[in-house]
Amino acid sequence: MCANTFFLRLEGPLQSWGDQQSRFVVRRTSEAPTKSGVFGLLCAALGIERRRCAEGWLDRLGSLRMGVRIDRPGVRWWDYQTVGAGSRLRTADSTGKEGPLLSRREYLCDASFLVALQGESTLVAELERALREPCWVPYLGRKSCPPSSPILERPATDHPDVISALASVPWRPRLKGDLPPELLTCLLDWHPSDGLPRAPTGERVSYDVPVSFEPPVHRPRFVVRRELKVAPTGGVSIAKEPGQSATTAPPRPRADYANGRFRQRRKERLQTDRELCVLCKSPAGTVQHITYRRAGGDELLDDLRSMCRLCHDAATMVEYGHGMGIDRINPEDPKWRGKILAKRAEIVSFRSVENRRRRLSEG
Ligand SMILES: [Zn+2]
């Protein structure tokens, strides 16, 4: 049989699809599976070791067109990890570090994605076979994230393009009580050879096509957003003509604590602080709880402080190191200021080392 498209269902209690901003101490997740994460999963199913993937397999996989349908965006959540408490750990500069290494890892909880991969039919058949009897256990971005249903959604079929492939699979609830959304966002590969005179509006560049897993080297691809309409029965259809892609990004999945009352309080705090970080005076993108006593919507204005993301990440890491309870760090307190700024400098230097390394490996 000649089918050019196979389908993956990526859903589970947790998933985490790291992108280029996701290294070292603060490891974030993308809103949807990355090409690197999906190719890693396919290589694991095929039983190819990380360092051997670059010997041909990543080239073959690179010929596949990928589309991801966000059936359930999930909720973002953080995990706090320590490595090597009480021992002297070797660090990259070989000096070693006393005490544990700390990192924060972001996950998507209860998300569900439909992934369509389109390409040459023998390759599709080979990958489908591997996924039916995977050599190594598949996981959703990190080893700690097992899938909650079989990865293969349905047998491979033939489709003229990836968007019609994604529209051929009905939406289904991930959890009891999930109702079909009106629209489903899809993230699709776009290539200049697609016949459009210029790139569709709203296309973005993702640096997530793996050239090698060890060392990690990625090349860019264009990604466009399209929307699919969902009928109340779960049936899916193409909402707009190709080339007139829907460009509005859906809201990022928010954490549960971002309820209406908290959002209002957060807005007031940001206005009060003139939308500037209380520590470094950069534009503030978030607020820090200095106490969790009233967290969840009953916060007083004085329970929050406006902060930029970087200072907030730094303050959170300092808190972790001090085993704080319900009362947290007040970034305006001179006692904490120096510690937060030092941690902030550490994060910046981690990131710039990483950027330099990436530039070298790409150059
Ligand atoms: Zn700041």
* Cβ atoms 84, 101 nearer than 8 A: yes
Same domain, 208 and 83: yes
The token pair at 94 is 């070989």
The DSSP bridge pattern shows strands 5-11 and 112-118 to be antiparallel
Q: How far apart are CA 206 and CA 220, in angstroms?
A: 5
Distance 89 CA to ligand 1 centre (A): 29
Distance 202 CA to ligand 1 centre (A): 30
Q: What angle do CA 47, 10, 68 make, to 5 degrees?
A: 105
**Per-residue model confidence (pLDDT) at position 325:** 67
- Beta bridge partners of residue 9, listed in sequence order: 114
Stated pTM of the model:
0.65
> Average pLDDT for residues 350-356, to the nearest whole number?
71
Distance 283 CA to ligand 1 centre (A): 8
* Cβ atoms 32, 18 nearer than 8 A: no
The pLDDT > 70 percentage for the chain reads 83
Q: What is the CATH number of the domain that holds 82?
A: 3.30.70.2660
Distance 287 CA to ligand 1 centre (A): 11
> Average pLDDT for residues 253-268, to the nearest whole number?
71
Sequential DSSP letters for 184-226: EEEEEEE-GGGS-SSPPTT-EEEEEEEEETTTTEEEEEEEEEE
Same domain, 24 and 160: yes
Q: End of a domain among 208, 238, 268?
A: 238
Distance 307 CA to ligand 1 centre (A): 5
Q: How far apart are CA 30 and CA 207, in angstroms?
A: 12
Q: How far apart are CA 38 and CA 18, in angstroms?
A: 11
* Cβ atoms 313, 26 nearer than 8 A: yes
**Per-residue model confidence (pLDDT) at position 68:** 98
Distance 286 CA to ligand 1 centre (A): 10
> Does some domain include residue 331?
yes
Same domain, 17 and 131: yes
- Name residue, tokens 């190819």: 48
> Does some domain include residue 9?
yes
> Does some domain include residue 247?
no
Distance 115 CA to ligand 1 centre (A): 38
Say whether pLDDT at 60 is over 90: yes
- Beta bridge partners of residue 227, listed in sequence order: 185
Same domain, 73 and 218: yes
> Does some domain include residue 310?
yes
> Does some domain include residue 244?
no
Same domain, 277 and 341: yes
Question: Mind listing the pLDDT tens digit for each residue in 108-145?
Answer: 999 999 999 999 999 999 999 999 999 999 999 999 99
**Per-residue model confidence (pLDDT) at position 247:** 42
Same domain, 275 and 207: no
Q: How confident is the model at residue 246 (pLDDT cuts 50, 70, 90)?
A: very low
How many C-beta atoms surround the C-beta of residue 23 within 10 A?
Answer: 19
Return mean pLDDT, the chain: 84
Same domain, 317 and 218: no
- Rounded to whole angstroms, what are the CA distances from 23 to 28, 67, 219, 312, 351? 8, 25, 17, 17, 8
More confident residue, 248 or 200: 200
> Does some domain include residue 334?
yes
Query: What residue type is assigned to position 119 of the chain?
Result: G
Distance 289 CA to ligand 1 centre (A): 15
Q: Which domain holds residue 303?
A: 260-362
Distance 310 CA to ligand 1 centre (A): 6
Domain total in the chain: 2
Q: How far apart are CA 306 and CA 348, in angstroms?
A: 20
Same domain, 231 and 155: yes
Same domain, 195 and 278: no
Same domain, 267 and 231: no
**Per-residue model confidence (pLDDT) at position 163:** 93
Question: Mind listing the pLDDT tens digit for each residue in 3-29?
Answer: 999 999 999 999 999 876 655 667 888
Distance of CA 294 to the CA centre of its chain: 30
Distance 132 CA to ligand 1 centre (A): 49
**Per-residue model confidence (pLDDT) at position 24:** 60
Distance 280 CA to ligand 1 centre (A): 4
Same domain, 231 and 272: no
**Per-residue model confidence (pLDDT) at position 85:** 65
> Does some domain include residue 250?
no
Question: Mind listing the pLDDT tens digit for each residue in 266-312?
Answer: 999 999 999 999 998 988 989 998 888 887 778 899 999 999 988 99
Q: How confident is the model at residue 328 (pLDDT cuts 50, 70, 90)?
A: confident
Distance 73 CA to ligand 1 centre (A): 29
> Does some domain include residue 243?
no
> Average pLDDT for residues 62-73, to the nearest whole number?
95
- Beta bridge partners of residue 116, listed in sequence order: 7, 67
Same domain, 164 and 283: no
Distance 281 CA to ligand 1 centre (A): 6
